[in-house]
Amino acid sequence: MGRAWAVALLLVAGISFSCASRVPEEQLLLRETTTGRTSSAAGLGQRGSNGAALPVVLWHGMGDSCCSMGSMGSIKQLIEDKLGVFVHSIATGVGEYQDVWSSFYGNVNQQVGKVCGELASMEELKGGFNMVGFSQGGQFLRAVVQRCGRRLPPVHSLITLGGQHQGVANTPGCSVDLTGAAAKACTAMQLLLARGAYAPWVRENIVQAQYFKDPLQIDSYLRYNIFMPDINNERDDKNAAYADNLASLQRLVLFRFDEDTTVVPRDSAWFSFWDGAETVIPLKDQPLYKEDWLGLRRLDEAGGLIFESAPGEHMQFTLKWFEEKVVDAYLA
């Protein structure tokens, strides 16, 4: 696929890009939902040495921005009001326009590197902190933990909601709730992935291509994908520091949405993935766990790897659910 064609498609997507008319793809639905199960670790919130709750870092998902009061801004305010702690919501672009755009178009390795530097320099985080990743923000925060290592203050808990830890085998869907130019941007992303997720320009510039994993083309995935094979330690040259850094967490909490059709397969949120046919292989049956490529087995044996379920479709939850199942259970 030619670079000129790809750039033209992005220009069409970007015409009159106005976040003011946008409803984020991963919006908060302000309705009552059936609550998911609670693990045995619920209620064991983590606190600093002075007994206070720890600061929190958030990374939003596709089609969203750091601070919109229709989504991440409301979550940030909820945590601040409930716990009285410092909350940093990550932005990978300057202003809402660029922040939303960068959730579709950009280089994830560069974004992760930038975030590492920001978090390492924040005085408010010096005593340690917790992190919550929403959808693709989940695996991006995991990359921060694995790659930043000793550069960061202690990261106690990483909580991911609907993350794509084993990638996606199909292009992420554009929600019917996504409108205007954001919907155009998402559609352009889908067309580019359909024309070749591992094509040079696409794999370097389309965020979702950087965690696209075709189970029928694993060799191409391992050779050409610039992000996911590295952070999952899937190549022959394993990075031992990745496993040590992730195993140093006190807790890794993985929420999967029970009716998720955006993440294919949905159990990628639990590190599960297809075996190349139609069978989804659970994490504990994979070499990734058995040979402990990422430190997940060590974390599990220490009681720090927690699998949770959330009701409904991808990222469709209420503030009340988030308060009970995430804030109260794992941050308070």
Q: Domain extents for the chain?
A: 62-331
Helix crossing, 3-14 with 180-194: angle to 10°?
Answer: 160
DSSP characters for 147-211? HHGGGSPPEEEEEEES--TT-BSSPPP--TT--HHHHHHHHHHHHHHHTTTTSHHHHHHBGGGGG
User: Which pLDDT score is estimated for 175?
Assistant: 58
Closest by CA to 56, choosing from 24, 99, 88, is 88
**Contact (Cβ atoms closer than 8 angstroms) between residue 28 and residue 68:** no
- Bridge partners (DSSP) of residue 309 are 256
Query: For residue 308, what is the enclosing H or E element?
Result: strand 305-310
Round to whole Å and give the CA distance between 43 and 48: 16
Q: Which CATH number fits domain 62-331: 3.90.1420.10, 3.40.50.1820, 3.30.2320.80, 3.90.650.10?
A: 3.40.50.1820
Whether omega before 265 lies within 30 degrees of 0, making that bond cis, reads yes
Positions marked active-site = 135, 260, 314
26: CB partners within 8 A, 6+ apart? 60, 61, 62, 63, 64, 71, 134, 135, 175, 314, 315
- Bridge partners (DSSP) of residue 60 are none
User: Which pLDDT score is estimated for 38?
Assistant: 32
Round to whole Å and give the CA distance between 173 and 187: 9
- Bridge partners (DSSP) of residue 296 are none
Plot region of 271 (φ>0 → left; ψ -120 to 50 → alpha; else → beta) = left
With tokens 């890794």, the residue in question is 252
pLDDT along the chain (332 residues), means of 10: 48 40 42 32 46 92 91 96 98 92 95 98 97 98 96 97 94 63 73 80 92 92 97 97 98 97 94 86 97 98 98 95 98 94
Report the chain's C-alpha Rg in angstroms. 19
Tokens for 229?
């094979």
Tokens for 37?
């199960």
